[in-house]
Amino acid sequence: MAEGFRLHLIRHPKPQIDAGICYGQREILAEIELADLRDLQSRLPAELPVWTSPLRRCHDLALALHPVPQLDADLAEIHFGEWEGLAWDDIPRHELDAWAADVVGYAPPGGESPRQLQARARQAIARINVPEAVVVTHGGVIRALLAHWLGLADDAWLTVSADFLSVTTVELDANGRVRRVTKR
């Protein structure tokens, strides 16, 4: 990577699920309106290769952007284990307290920690072997990658956000250091 690397990280459309539900890797539909798709396409360079999480809320969007997107399971959202599908209010208080005490290191029962999510997301990005690409993924993946690239402390991870259908473009130099991050 002599000259660097540019990634356009896209968060999937808003999923069709009630507010207050922990859904991580749970399969949920997320439809995109044609006007929103056209707007998204206008914010991206034409004809770039696309990598995507295999979860439908990402994969369906990736198919709308490219006829043959590359699936990578390491781009899936964090796995919340036993919390998947539960209302946040129904998760045992002591487990939420343990998570709050170690936001990036705690793994819910049967799930993974944000730090584990970051490790697998970084592996997925390392497998992308083109100078510029689109990655359709999840808010947690985008947050974890930006925390790594920007060298954020653990307590600053939650300050990173990615809205539904947002495009976060990250330009890295040949040594993997951030040149620029832009959000659209």
Q: What is the pLDDT of residues 135-155, one digit of tens each?
A: 999 999 999 999 999 999 998
Q: Sheet of 178-183: strands edge to edge?
A: 70-71, 50-52, 132-137, 5-11, 167-172, 178-183
Is residue 138 exposed (0-12), middle (13-18) or buried (19+ Cβ within 10 Å)?
buried
pTM: 0.95
Which residue range(s) make up the domain with 9?
5-183
Q: What pLDDT, on the 0 to 100 scale, is given for residue 107?
A: 98
Handedness of CA 49, 55, 56, 58 (dihedral sign): negative
CB proximity list for 45: less than 8 A, separation 6 or greater: 8, 132
Q: What pLDDT, on the 0 to 100 scale, is given for residue 118?
A: 97
Residue type at 107 in one-letter notation: A
How many domains does the chain contain in total?
1
Picking from 22, 24, 42, 1, the residue whose alpha carbon sits closest to that of residue 126 is: 1
Instruction: Return d(Cα 75, Cα 17) in angstroms, integer.
Output: 21
CB proximity list for 33: less than 8 A, separation 6 or greater: none
CA 27 to chain centre: 15
Which alpha helices (H) appear in the chain, and where do they start and end?
Answer: 34-42, 56-65, 93-101, 114-126, 139-149
Residue 42: give its domain's CATH number: 3.40.50.1240
Q: What pLDDT, on the 0 to 100 scale, is given for residue 63?
A: 97
**Which regions in the chain score pLDDT beneath 50?**
1-2
